[in-house]
A and B are shown apart, each in its own frame.
Chain A
Amino acid sequence: MTTENWIAVCGLDDIPRLGARRVMLSGIPVALFRTGADRLFAIEDRCPHKGGPLSQGIVHGNAVACPLHNWVIDLEAAEARAPDRGCVRRLPVRLEGGTVLLDAGAVLVQAAE
């Protein structure tokens, strides 16, 4: 058990639209995605296939294509799109003013599990 612990990680403008940035949070690499419609997603920066850095992929709709073998990861559902199968860890992220916040508490809980 732990409580919420929102940490400011960057400004919205630090993440290009249809792009991503990687941030280390409590030792875990987290990919922050910004979609074309300015939605934010935080996903552990690891493809369920071969561990590829999802933050380096091409963002489209609410999905990203892994740069290694082109698996398409649905950021909303936090899983690979068919025909591939696999889940990713989605972390709480929110925008306050122009600042992007991550919940470090949630990261620790998930890390402990």
Chain B
Amino acid sequence: MRRKLVVIGNGMAGCRAVEELLARAPDGFDIAIFGAEPRVNYNRIMLSPVLAGEKTYEDIVINGRDWYEGNGITLHAGDPIVTVDRAGRTVTTASGHVERYDLLLLATGSSPFILPVPGKDLAGIVTFRDMDDVEMMLAAARTGRHAVVIGGGLLGLEAANGLNLNGMAVTVIHLADTLMERQLDEAAGVLLQKELEGRGVRILTGAHTERYLGDGRVRAVRLKDGTEIPADIVVVAAGIRPNVALARAAGLTVERGIVVDDLMHSSDPAIFAVGECVEHRGVTYGLVAPLWEMCRAFAAGLAAGDTAGYQGSILSTRLKVTGVDVFSAGDFSAGPDKEDIVLRDARRGVYKRLIVSGDRLAGAILYGDARDGAWYFQLLKDGASIADIRDTMIFGQSLAGAAMQPTDAVAALPDDAEICGCNGVSKGVITAAITEHGLTDLAGVRAHTKASGSCGSCTGLVEQLLALSLGEDYEAATGPKPLCPCTDKTHDDVRRLIIAHELRAIPDVMQHLGWTTPDGCAACRPALNYYLLCAWPGVYRDDRQSRFINERAHGNIQKDGTFSVVPRMWGGVTNPRELRAIADVAEEFAIPAVKVTGGQRIDLLGVKKEDLPAVWDRLNAAGMVSGHAYGKALRTVKTCVGSQWCRFGTQDSTSLGIALERMAWGSWMPHKFKMAVSGCPRNCAEATIKDFGVVCVDSGFELHVGGNGGMKVRATDFLARVETETQVLEYAAAFIQLYRETGHYLERTAPWLERLGIAFVKARIVEDAAARQAYRERFLLSQTVMQRDPWQERDTAEFKQLETV
């Protein structure tokens, strides 16, 4: 007699298991399938193309009614099983139908994780799991305008893309800092974000959903930071949970999923489980490939007595968004025995990273060109040795194995092959220019042909052409020094290209400009952070981990690891209330040293890091803010007492100093920046060794720039004489912005001025009134977002103490 097999779940796993079984034992079982959805079996992973309008429901049906009938399978669609009686070996449906079984297969799948936030039961909040969800989304797109997708993983992004194609304004809210962080590294995640943003999808990373707003029907989503995003529909794609309620009620062993062995047995030998509802060797899966492998192991074991069983899966994913090529497989976490092979091609928008462990491939991330995904995945699954193809495998299957010298490839190119895509320069033009003009270096080629002068991604090729043409005469360029060993780009190149290519994040810069390290070094990261901050005020999000500790802790680290705290004293002026607060805080926290600084401020030295937030709190309460005495920023404006008190004073230097400080505080600079205002030419405030110094005279104000004390004293150059305080402020703002925009990171105004010359500065700040206005306006615009007291941001993790153990 044929054994009775009851399958709970008419989804992809349940039906695939039955197909595998029928292939091995066509007449072995009497089969009944119970499904909760009133439909035949369809391909759930193709819901994205249905939403995007690229496929219809009919296109994605796997097994139509005829398949069930032809194989003698009874389908109970739309009547879910509610109880399992293991002792009596029966199942009961919601409608009361009872079915006996010899063997039971659980393929109950998973359910979307619902965020437990207020308003979660409002109408218009859907998941992206089945055809009903897709139909609701399509209906919303016909009447509404705004869609919010919660979750920037695979499914969420596919939903966002689909809704976007349906004409909705879509915002993706993602908790992590980069998209698809489980499948992609940061570099690929940022590229993907940029691509989707280019398509009009708004993406908020590091965003926490606080609640849904609406009356009966959802109207908006509110984030923890208070942002409200209008929403006619909300799609929640924040992960899945295995459906285990039925199994748990039946008394089977359940952890995160239904626990199974290699042959897919649950803790009851008569009951099997496959798909997203199971937990195998401690792992649950949410992708389709493992499910196929489980079904194969289940059927082979049951029908053919094959005990090889399921061994767990190596995963690969591919994003189903037309025109976006993303592939990820295996393990991309680093490890002591792991090595990276990275290829970046900015012009083609390609990023490939292979993770190698010994002679084996351990993982692969492909962005922009995923043609070789299947090949890499096969190498990965087979555990094949890659020793022979390691040098070339990053270029893909077609090139791997054909090992070549780097110059061989360039030599083999025809003369009309394009070398520089930005300027359309061919190999022939470059080699002709080298011979004709006797060029010997990169700068010469750039000057004569423009090749490699724009994005710079072809620099290596141009150098190889030089090497080919000149043979041993060619030595690699000895031109301007690169920013750091992670790149061949200079500071100026990097700043120019950040603007030209609208690069808005550090990984973005590293990708486009071909950084050779995964996350830079302690020299380039703070520089890039500053350059981005300066280029995109209010848009760029400051990267704390790329700042030196002083700028993270808003204090100057001392040799014993403690910090100094310097409150701002505008123009060096204080009062009894501030002094009392400083005295109180020094006593309360047993601060060992209190000293007056060279810049007319009071320094509290030896403050423990964990005390910093409380110290600031007390000083804030007395009306004081951070003095930025630790930062590459405006430090101090030193003043003398001026005409208000001094018998020689010609102008009110103190008030002018305060006005300058009020205007410029909070601004990040390439290096520290100091100002001073002296009330007469006796120059008591030492204005002529400051970055920007003012010396008051009877007829107005002399402006001096580019001075510093320090290891190499440099007196200022004279910039201009102006008549009013308003003009002083105007010139100061413009000068600071010129320095901010053209200074190299960690270059003070003194070497900067020697590099560019005072004529360069005068031409922009003194002689061209329109340029001066433009610099000033850019500075003031930047200040609208920069002038935040860093002491106010106290709830950051930086100061959170770990418990002592």
Interface set of A (CB-CB < 8 Å, partner B): 7, 9-10, 14, 16-19, 21-26, 32, 35-39, 50, 52-53, 56-63, 65, 67-68, 70, 72, 76, 102, 104
Contacts and interface: CB of A to CB of B under 8 A. Distances in A.
Question: Which of under 10, 10 to 19, 20 to 34, or 35 or more describes the interface residues of B?
Answer: 20 to 34
Nearest to B187: A36
B805 A67 contact: no
Contact of B519 (A9, A61, A68, A72): A61
B800 A14 contact: yes
A2 to B, nearest CB: 16
Contacts of B334: 35, 37-39, 62
Interface of B: 177, 185-186, 332-336, 517-522, 525-526, 544-550, 553, 557, 559, 561, 609, 797, 800, 802-805
A23 B804 contact: yes
A37 B518 contact: yes
Contacts of A52: 559, 561
A10 B336 contact: no
14 contacts: A10-B803, A14-B797, A16-B797, A21-B802, A24-B804, A25-B805, A37-B333, A39-B333, A39-B335, A59-B545, A61-B517, A62-B334, A67-B548, A104-B805
A68 B559 contact: yes
Given A37-B333, A38-B333, A53-B561, A18 B802 contact: no
A10 B546 contact: no
Given A22-B802, A39-B335, A60 B561 contact: no
Given A23-B802, A56-B561, A60-B520, 13 more contacts: A10-B803, A17-B545, A22-B802, A23-B805, A24-B805, A37-B333, A39-B333, A52-B559, A53-B561, A60-B517, A63-B521, A65-B521, A102-B805
A37 B355 CA distance: 12
Given A16-B797, A24-B805, A37-B518, A58 B186 contact: no
A35 B340 CA distance: 14
B518 A36 contact: yes
Nearest to B550: A67
Nearest to A46: B561
Contact of B522 (A19, A68, A70): A70
Given A35-B334, A58-B545, A9 B802 contact: yes
Contacts of B557: 53, 56, 67-68
Contacts of B609: 56
Q: Name which of A50, A65, A102 has the most chain B CB atoms within 10 A of its CB.
A: A65
Nearest to B563: A56
A65 B333 contact: no
Contacts of B526: 58
Contacts of B800: 14
Contacts of B520: 60
A60 B805 contact: no
Given A58-B525, A65-B522, A14 B802 contact: yes
Nearest to A60: B521
Pairs A-B, 10 closest by C-beta atoms: A65-B522, A37-B334, A36-B519, A18-B545, A24-B804, A56-B549, A58-B522, A53-B561, A23-B802, A67-B549
A104 B334 CA distance: 25
Contacts of B544: 16, 19
A16 B333 contact: no
A53 B333 CA distance: 27
